[in-house]
Amino acid sequence: MKRRAFLQTSAAATTGVALLSGFPIGAYGYSPELAALTNAATVTDKVLVIVQLQGGNDGLNMIIPVDQYAALAAARPNIMLPQNQVLPLTTATGMHPAMATAQQLFQNGQLGVVQSVGYPNPNFSHFRATDIWTSGSSSDVVWTTGWGGRYLDGEFLGYPTGYPSAANPDPLAVSIGSVVSNCVQGPMVNMGMAIASTSSFYQLLSGGVDAAPATQAGHELTFIRQVVSQTQVYTTAIQAAAGKAKNLSPLYPTAGQNALADQLKIVAQLVAGGLQTRIYVCQLGGFDLHSNQVPTTGSTTTGAHATLLGKLADGINAFQDDLRRLGVQDRVIGLTFSEFGRRIKANSGYGTDHGAAAPLLVFGAQANPLVHGPNPTLPANAGVNDNVAMQVDFRSVYTSILKDWFQVPQATLNQLFGQAFPYVPVIKQAPLATLPGAAPVAGFRLYPNPARTLATALFESQGEAVYVSLFDGLGREVSRPVEGRPLGLGTQRVPLAVGSLAPGAYHCVVREGSRSSSLVLVVAE
C-alpha cells in the first residue's frame, strides 16, 4: 500500500500526534460526507455531539418506570433502587439518584428522554450491535460506512484532494476516545480527526510530541510520531480555536476524574473558539456490568453503574454550563446512545445481561424537555430472557435530529437510511402558530374532544403540503403526526395518538399552504 493510501484509509493512526487538553490528535482530513450531513454545503453554525456509552447501558436503572415499580422490583430484588430515592421526572417516570444534575437539566428545559429505543430483531453482540447503531443499518444487513458518510460522499466529489481549503479550513468531525467511531466513516476514508488518549494540552500549542524511551526503537518511534504530526493538516486550525476561548464553567471535575467531562470540555472550548467542526463523538466506557453493577452489601444507589451515571450526568451538566457561559449554548445539541440495553431480570451476580431497547438522552438548550413515549411495559414475573420491547427505532431519532437541526431534506434522509422513519420531536420547535391574517383551514375540528387514547383531526385539504402538530401548555411540541407532505384533495382524517400524554389541554395546529388553524384538544384522565 502506498503511504498516501495508508494515511487516507487509516482509522486510528494517532500515536504521537499533537495534543489537546491531554488528548493526542490524529487528523483524518475534511469529510465530504459529514459536511453535507451538517448541511455544510450551505453555511451553518450548528453542532451535534454524540456520546457513546460503551458496553450496553442498563436503561431500566437509569430511567425508572415508577408506575411499574412492583414488577421491576420483582425482577431485580438484588439491584433495585429504593422507590423513595428515585428522582422524579414525571408522575410515572424517574431517574437514578446519581443523576441529580441531569434531573435539574430536565427541569430547566435542557434535557429530553426518548423511551425504549432500539431496532427490530436486536443483536446482542457488542461488536455487531455497535456497527448497527453507528452505521444506521438494519440488523440483517452489514454496512461498512457510517450514517454520515453514505450521504456526504456525493456532496464533495474528489475529496480529499483540495482540502482543507479557504472555504473549508476546519475538520468537519472530531472523534474523542480510544476508538474512532464508525459514525464518521465514509466510503473510502475516515472523515474526521481523532483525539485518542490523555497527555498534555500544551504539546498541541508547542507542536511537541510524546517522549519516547531513549532506545533505538524509541528513537524510531519519535521519528514516526514527528512524521505523523506533520501530516496533521488541521493542527493550525485547532491551535487557533484553542487559543481563542477558555473554559469558564467551575463545574468540571478535576482532570482525570471524569473521562466524559474531560472530552466535553474540549468540545466546548473548540466550539467557542470558532472551530467550524459540525460533529463531535465522545465516549464513556464500562457499562458491560454482568456482575457487581451494585455492591453486594450496602446501598443499591451506589456501585459501578451509579458511578458511571453520575459521570454522565455531571459531565453533561458542566458542559451545558460552560456553553452557556461561553455564549454558544443555542448552537449545540447532543444525544447519548449505547449498543443495547440490559435484560429486565437481574442475574445472581448483582448485574444484568445483554438486552434490547433502552432510553437515550437528548441534551442542550434546544432539546425538547420531554419524556418521549410511554414507559416500557414490564411483565409481572419477568424471565431471564425477557427484554424491553422497542417503541422507537433509533433511526427515528437520528433522522429527526438531522431534519430539525441540520435541515436535511426528507428525500435525502430516505436515501441515507434506505427508508423513512417516524418523526420524534426531540428538538424544540418554534410553535406552529396560526399565521396572522391567514385564511383558516376549512372544516377543521377535533373529535372526540376530550380524548383519552386517540383523537382525530378532520379538515378539508386542497392538495398542498400539510403540517399537523400538538403542543403542550408550555409550547413544547409533543407530537408531529404530519410533517410537510400533501395528503390529497378533500376530507382528511389525521389520527392523533394521545394515550401517552399527561392529562391536560394541548394545542393542535394545522397548516396547509397559506392557511392555518388551531384548536384546543383536552386529554382526559
**How far, in Å, CA of 395 to CA of 388, rounded?**
18
Sign of the alpha-carbon dihedral angle for 128, 132, 138, 142: negative
The cell for 123 is 443483536
pLDDT the model gives residue 181: 75
DSSP assignment of 3-56 equals HHHHHHH-S---TT--EETTEEEEE----HHHHHHTTTTS----EEEEEEETT-
C-alpha span between 382 and 66 (Å, rounded): 16
Instruction: Give Cα 279 to chain centroid, integer Å.
Output: 11
Q: Which residues pair with 62 in a beta bridge?
A: none
Rounded Cα distance between 262 and 177, Å, is 11
In degrees, to the nearest 5, what angle opens at C-alpha 205 toward C-alphas 204 and 209? 40
Residue 272's pLDDT is what?
95
Q: What is the pTM of this model?
A: 0.81
Contact status, residue 451 vs residue 501, Cβ threshold 8 Å: no
User: Which pLDDT score, from 0 to 100, does residue 13 have?
Assistant: 37
Q: In this structure, what C-alpha cell is assigned to residue 446?
A: 377535533
Residue among 155, 195, 189 nearest 38 (CA)? 155
Assign 3-class secondary structure to 176-226: ECCCCCHHHECCCCECCEEECCCCCCHHHHHCCCCCCCCCHHHHHHHHHHH
C-alpha cell at 415: 436515501
Torsion, CA 347, CA 350, CA 355, CA 360, rounded to 10: 160
Beta bridge partners of 93: 65
Number of H helices, E strands in the chain: 14, 21
Which H/E stretch holds residue 102?
helix 100-107
Q: What separation in angstroms does the CA of 343 have from each of 114, 136, 474?
A: 18, 23, 36
Residue closest to 496 by CA, chosen among 459, 455, 468, 460: 455
pLDDT at 19: 54
**CA 461 to CA 258: how far, in whole Å?**
54
Task: Catalogue all structural domains in the chain, each as residue range(s) with its CATH number.
Answer: 3-417 (no CATH), 445-523 (2.60.40.1930)
Residues of the chain predicted below pLDDT 70: 1-44, 148-161, 163, 168, 178-180, 184, 186, 189-192, 196-214, 216-233, 430-437
